[in-house]
Amino acid sequence: MKDVSHHLVIVANRLPVDRVELADGSHTWRTSPGGLVTAIEPVMRHGDGVWIGWPGGVDVDVEPFTDNDMDLVPISMSAEDIEGFYEGFSNGTLWPIYHDLVAKPEFHREWWDSYVAVNQRFAEKAAEAADEGATVWVHDYQLQLVPQMLRTLRPDLRIGFYLHIPFPPAELFQQLPWRRQILEGLLGADLVGFQLPGAAQNFIRLVRQRVGHKTHRDLVYLPDGRTVRAAAFPISIDAAGLEELARSESVAARAAEIREALGNPRRVFLGIDRLDYTKGIYARLRAFGELLEEGHFDVEDAVFVQVAVPSREQVEQYRLLRDEIDRLVGRINGDHGRIGSPAISYLHSSYPREEMAALYRAADVMVVTPYRDGMNLVAKEYVACRYEGDGALVLSEFAGAAEELRQAWLVNPYDINGMKSALLEAYGADERERTRRMRAMRRQVTQHDVKAWAESFMTELADVGTHEKDVRPA
């Protein structure tokens, strides 16, 4: 690595790369898929930054290194850290509470202890890596204590925090035995960013009620004179980069190949999600299965391609979900598939970016039906790839993206009949209707890309506390 200290430090649970073992036993690094990586990588490449995070794996103890022009500082995790901090508190406690209790959260004091200890390690590494007066941008629900811990170690830093998932209403957040510690952890930041204004309001309200600080609109006034701002920064994608990829000849050829392999049905439905119970995969496939059952179409008219990217496979609820979906897909294919033409092509795997772009191009109807989702980048990626202004998006009202993509066929994923109607409408919509909606959504996505997102966050972060209005009113 060139420098030991940096002006910009990104702190996130995962590094943007995965360690892969080669046939000869040596190791290399490969860019890892996932919402956060997709969003931040372009920002990092522009400056003198360093990224601190877990490289994946148990006890992977590697020195800081440079990959693809990015300085990376790995933080090793033991089997106990993974169990308590990552699978336990982050994904077994926080994830369900922050997603409307779609699953039941578990509370274990030893998970919390592990969360505190691992957050402390991240804070210490960040404190070591940052220049005097540097900016540190901490990401997501796994690291909510880092801002306060880091401020104690390094009061000279400018600290931003961004939450990629929803921030729950007070009624749910209150269940957390450690609610106050988490709020205080976040208040170590100068700027706390959320996907939606409603989440920022939930946070401000909780800070007032639970910590007792004075607040005014999006500002929190701390007793020591510091001001914290909480505001919405809806995340986005590299729309131009993705469109360019979608326009390439190789992607066009692959999209045609995919349709051919599917038996050239009139309409191809597509779902792409991490295999997660918040994403509503089961309900959407059930809706599709019922439409086949009721004879609205058959496999010559419509097929469904569902990519389910393996995720958190050690967590019990994720294993159960996988089994349920396997069974449902098996049943629908058994009932409605023909030789060479399954009704649902179900792929439990992850794919390179080119293949994703080809899938988006090949799909007539993109189906995104989470019960709750911070944003959902897949919805935006589909729109970015539809450069001809065609294609239909069926989108859950409960995805953050629904606040921007108003022209989608919006659905309530709990309402299977409503979802069936929307799938049918999107399936049958004429070209004029599809184009009218897609063009409007494309304007939104191309004008608000990930670069604009990062710039607005960084600008706000530099600004907090510098305005007169930020000073606590008498």
- Beta-carbon contacts of 222 under 8 Å, excluding residues fewer than 6 positions away, are 187, 213, 228
Name which position in 43, 130, 356, 363 contacts ligand GDG (CB under 6 A). Answer: 356
Cβ closest to ligand GDG, residue 39 vs residue 219 = 39
Contact call for residue 376 and ligand GDG (CB under 6 A): yes
Name which position in 16, 35, 147, 193 contacts ligand GDG (CB under 6 A). Answer: 35
Contact call for residue 168 and ligand GDG (CB under 6 A): no
Q: What is the smallest separation between the CB atom of 127 and ligand GDG, expressed in angstroms?
A: 25
Cβ closest to ligand GDG, residue 39 vs residue 191 = 39
Here the tokens at position 165 are 């998932």
DSSP character for 186? H
C-alpha distances (whole Å) from 448 to each of 134, 238, 442 are 27, 9, 10
Name which position in 309, 410, 416, 440 contacts ligand GDG (CB under 6 A). Answer: 309
| Identity of residue 87 | E
Contact call for residue 114 and ligand GDG (CB under 6 A): no
Contact call for residue 445 and ligand GDG (CB under 6 A): no
Contact call for residue 251 and ligand GDG (CB under 6 A): no
Name which position in 50, 146, 165, 196 contacts ligand GDG (CB under 6 A). Answer: 165
Contact call for residue 42 and ligand GDG (CB under 6 A): no
Cβ closest to ligand GDG, residue 364 vs residue 381 = 381
Contact range with ligand GDG by CB under 6 A, out of 35-43, 184-192, 426-434, 439-447:
35-43
Within residues 173-192, the interface with ligand GDG by CB under 6 A covers none
Cβ closest to ligand GDG, residue 209 vs residue 349 = 349
Contact call for residue 378 and ligand GDG (CB under 6 A): yes
Q: CA-CA distance, 112 to 282, in Å (whole number)?
A: 31
Q: Is 250 exposed, middle or buried (0-12, 13-18, 19+ CB in 10 A)?
A: exposed
Q: CA-CA distance, 104 to 91, in Å (whole number)?
A: 11
Contact call for residue 350 and ligand GDG (CB under 6 A): yes
Q: What is the smallest separation between the CB atom of 202 and ligand GDG, expressed in angstroms?
A: 16
Contact call for residue 348 and ligand GDG (CB under 6 A): no
What sections of 306-347 are H helices per DSSP? 316-336
Contact range with ligand GDG by CB under 6 A, out of 22-30, 226-234, 376-384, 452-460:
376-384
| Identity of residue 400 | G
Contact 20, 54 (CB under 8 A): no
User: Shortest CA distance to 38 belongs to which of 357, 282, 322, 343?
Assistant: 357
Cα dihedral sign, 328-315-165-128: negative
Contact call for residue 454 and ligand GDG (CB under 6 A): no
Cβ closest to ligand GDG, residue 213 vs residue 442 = 442
Contact range with ligand GDG by CB under 6 A, out of 79-87, 214-222, 225-233, 352-360:
352-360
Contact range with ligand GDG by CB under 6 A, out of 29-37, 78-86, 119-127, 409-417:
29-37
Contact range with ligand GDG by CB under 6 A, out of 31-39, 128-136, 210-218, 442-450:
31-39
CA dihedral (85, 398, 350, 84) in degrees, to 10, reads 10
Contact 159, 190 (CB under 8 A): yes
- Beta-carbon contacts of 449 under 8 Å, excluding residues fewer than 6 positions away, are 236, 237, 238, 239, 240
Contact call for residue 351 and ligand GDG (CB under 6 A): yes
CB atoms inside a 10 Å sphere around CB 113: 13
The number of C-alpha atoms within 13 Å of 213 and in the hemisphere containing its C-beta is 26
- Beta-carbon contacts of 103 under 8 Å, excluding residues fewer than 6 positions away, are 96, 277, 317
Contact call for residue 243 and ligand GDG (CB under 6 A): no
Contact call for residue 147 and ligand GDG (CB under 6 A): no
Q: CA-CA distance, 248 to 472, in Å (whole number)?
A: 54
Here the tokens at position 130 are 């940052």
Contact range with ligand GDG by CB under 6 A, out of 34-42, 429-437, 449-457, 459-467:
34-42
Contact call for residue 353 and ligand GDG (CB under 6 A): yes
Cβ closest to ligand GDG, residue 95 vs residue 297 = 95
Contact range with ligand GDG by CB under 6 A, out of 111-119, 281-289, 374-382, 414-422:
374-382
Contact range with ligand GDG by CB under 6 A, out of 36-44, 258-266, 335-343, 464-472:
36-44
Q: Which residue is nearest to ligand GDG (CB)?
A: 35
345 φ/ψ sector (left φ>0, alpha ψ -120 to 50, else beta): beta
Q: Is 144 exposed, middle or buried (0-12, 13-18, 19+ CB in 10 A)?
A: buried
Binding site for ligand GDG (CB under 6 A): 33-36, 38-39, 164-165, 235, 272, 274, 309, 350-353, 356, 373-378, 381
